[in-house]
Structure 1
């Protein structure tokens, strides 16, 4: 089968083929580019394999351009890459690999194209198209990758038990590709994945989270999470999420399955955001429910304080899973802590003070918080869903009105601690903090306007009461 049309998207294919012929190198474009072309997907990453030195080929290709082409060489890995506009182009020599039981780092030797294809993770990534003149465009597909694309199947080229034992990260990649492409995982491959799940322990947290984040960024990440759960992979690195699964019943009282509820919330929020960390907030929003679950004979199952518990759990989970311990973690933590607050503002009797406090606590995250709250509405009763969403419309209108009037989002005290010390000639200490706090509370309660004149007037009254002046 000839795929010359796959090589017409960029002049690099003919150029590499011509240089490879001069160097006497059997050379192919392989992997993701071939897969994506057959699937009709755009691809900016092009990988070449040659039977020989990939570095030498890359050097000759880079030198063939009249303009400077950035070349990066990684001798330890036997690879090199060049960047052309927005294309990343990698060169590597064909190789065969062997593994030790305690590591996913292979022992690498020079190999043939067949050996190179055999070592690849999945049949859909093991296809190659020749760029040499005599066989230009010929597809080499020893493991029926084209058929697997047509059948929408993720399948390993060789024995999946060996494939996953050699490099357990491939189990995460199997789920990731299934989620990205909306493919099934072949039954033999999935059985091997389930049996090999514990091998994931030798993989670094950074590599696992990289694959997990790619799953989270798919259009419908619940599919990937269901595969991770069914394959017992999620149990290896995210036990807190596994704990959400299941329903307890006492008599006629039961609670919803919080694992599948969380996945629905995640899918819901993906309809309104591509932000990875807002999607993480959806994943984490009910993570505190298992440790706060209680049964009350009058009301049934309760999860009182799960938002506070979840917020306290967030840093530990992020640290263990090698997620960033910076403002992104604090953002997720804030949304977890506040995700129940907006629903309490639905009543017509809610005061502006309550809205001001939510604005103060949420700051710039208020809009994302409202997206999370809307995504959290997962009832099968459509009338109930529409009623709750209409209530959130009212809450958002209140937020807009209060913010326009009082400007408390990202509140900054109208009078700073330094100004207080200067005005009253007092040293730093608890008294300064108390004065600032009382001014803040007066603004949030609506007792004074959020401006410097009103704050200074109150400051002098408070100072007089405390005997400072």
Structure 2
């Protein structure tokens, strides 16, 4: 407890330029103001925040008036929910009127009612560890629901009955999984029971809000905890059904309990690798790891000798991934990137012990495009064998592939691989104008470039003329 008090005191001193002056402004205006939620929780965990959330007795228009002359910028996009935002130097601040909100059983949008007390506002929050507050400027600590104890025990509980909380806002079930993944906390059995009983309630929540929670979960330090909770409660069946489907399928190598367990291991190994190669955390690489085998259930075939195959699960999985990401309203860029990685995740296994030609290596780089580093991460993470000799062999083989890519990249500028003649040169040599034939000639020269490496301009011209002559 002494450490918690010290962490909080240090954090409050750090953010004093905001909380002291802002607190005085609201107090002088006859209103209450309290730092609340994540910033208070994380202060106790020794984590710093530059995004500060406050709750107040002031109504939005009163909050906006008190921020003028103090904040560098003010915005009111959350006014309908009682929230006014502002920026002060490096600080991002959101101030929300005391409130209570609930969902109509058939509505995706909450009905917002403003409240009058801090205790009432804290009672409507999702979990006790987020239902703590510090009144400012006096710095009095408020914890009516035992959040400090739950924080010490690393457990997620709701301030009231979880059934009431999830009925008010079903997205809180997703948030339970997300906070488990972010904080490494366990979830109270009563909360798990309510999530299981009420999982279908998530269907009234918009795809965009579900997507945002899923991204935060996957980018958290312990995503396995959150994903397991989604699967065990049945929520995953509704928001990411491809994941629980994997638990029904035996891995063809029989080295894992099932493809589901293998997938979670690949995700964790990708996280370990991303620190060396990618920005951290990297959602695209992590989601590709999570989705890389989703095509297996649909492609499983049992052979007469008792073995099982999953032919073309990479292609099928890429299509399934694209469909799911579109349903969750992901951006086209993220959808394209993840789908490409899923489709390419098996490509390396054709490399054998290094038999690929330079042409095959060039095609590997070209097909991966700007996802090459992520493909390196996914391919390496996909090795979950417990056979150390085999694991070492696969690692050395991929090391060899990356070394060959590096050599070719240095020699041939692989990242900007193009034919040895551009479109204007093709048209001039063939005496034609823009059209389909130019694209076909370009593709032919690119194939030659991939197969044989760089050509001189004269050799490329001869090859182009030979191609054109064959077409006549």
1:291 aligns with 2:298: yes
1:145 aligns with 2:147: yes
Q: 1: distance between equivalents of 2:348 and 2:73?
A: 52
1:196-255 alpha-carbon deviations (Å, 9 max, x no partner): 1100000001000100000111123222111111111111111122211124599x9898
Residue matched to 2:277: none
Q: 1:345 to 1:16 in 2, by over 3 A?
A: same
Counterpart of 2:196 in 1: which secondary structure? helix
- Would you say how many aligned residue pairs link Structure 1 and Structure 2? 458
Of residues 272, 279, 283, the one that matches 1:276 is: 283
Runs (5+) with no aligned partner, structure 1: none
**SS class of match (2:114):** strand
Matched, 1:405 2:386: no
Q: Offset of 1:313 from its aligned partner?
A: 2.4
Checking the alignment, whether the CA contact within 8 Å between 2:217 and 2:226 is kept in structure 1 is yes
Return closer, same or farther for 1:460/1:226 CA change in 2, 3 Å cut-off. Answer: same
User: Aligned residue for 2:83?
Assistant: 79
Cα distance in 2 between the residues matched to 1:353 and 1:124: 57
- For residues 160 and 340 of structure 1, the distance between their equivalents in structure 2, rounded to whole angstroms, comes to 44
Residue 394 of structure 1 deviates from its aligned partner by 1.3
Q: Which residue of 2 aligns with 1:194?
A: 196
Q: Secondary structure at the match of 2:105?
A: coil
- The reply on whether 1:24 has 2:25 as its aligned counterpart is no
Root mean square deviation, CA, Å: 2.5
Q: Determine helix, strand or coil for the equivalent of 2:106.
A: coil
1:19/1:449 CA distance change after superposition, 3 Å = closer
Secondary structure class of the residue paired with 2:246: coil
Using the size of structure 1 for normalisation, the TM-score is 0.90
Cα distance in 1, alignment partners of residues 443 and 85 from structure 2: 57
Equivalence map 1:146-185=2 (5 Å): 146-185=148-187
Aligned ranges 1:189-228 → 2 under 5 Å: 189-228=191-230
Would you say 1:374 and 2:376 are equivalent positions? Answer: no
The Cα shift of 1:45 comes to 2.1
Q: Compared with structure 1, are the counterparts of its residues 232 and 419 closer, same or farther at alpha carbon in structure 2 (3 Å cutoff)?
A: same
Q: 1:54-453 counterparts in 2 under 5 A?
A: 54-63=60-69, 65=70, 69-73=72-76, 74-103=78-107, 104-132=109-137, 136-248=138-250, 257-273=258-274, 274=280, 275-298=282-305, 300-325=307-332, 327-427=333-433, 431-446=437-452, 449-453=454-458
Q: Is the 8 A contact 1:362 1:409 kept in 2?
A: no
1: distance between equivalents of 2:255 and 2:101? 53
CA deviations on 1:304-335 (whole Å, 9 max, x unpaired) are: 1111112222321211111112x332222222
User: 2 CA distance for matches of 1:433 and 1:5?
Assistant: 64
The answer to whether the 8 Å contact 2:156/2:176 transfers is yes
Larger radius of gyration: 1
Cα contact 1:363–1:410 (8 A) shared by 2: no
Runs of 5+ in structure 2 lacking a partner?
A: 275-279
Q: Deviations over 1:428-461 (max 9, x none)?
A: 5565444333322322222x63453331121123
CA contact 1:346–1:394 (8 Å) conserved in 2:
no
Give the distance between the partners of 2:425 and 2:466, measured in 1 at CA.
16
Deviation string 1:246-288 (CA, Å, 9 cap, x unpaired) is 24599x9898511111111111111222221121221221121
Q: Does the Cα contact within 8 Å between 1:269 and 1:372 map onto a contact in 2? A: yes
CA distance in 2, matches of 1:296, 1:56: 72
CA contact (8 A) 1:288 1:306 kept: yes
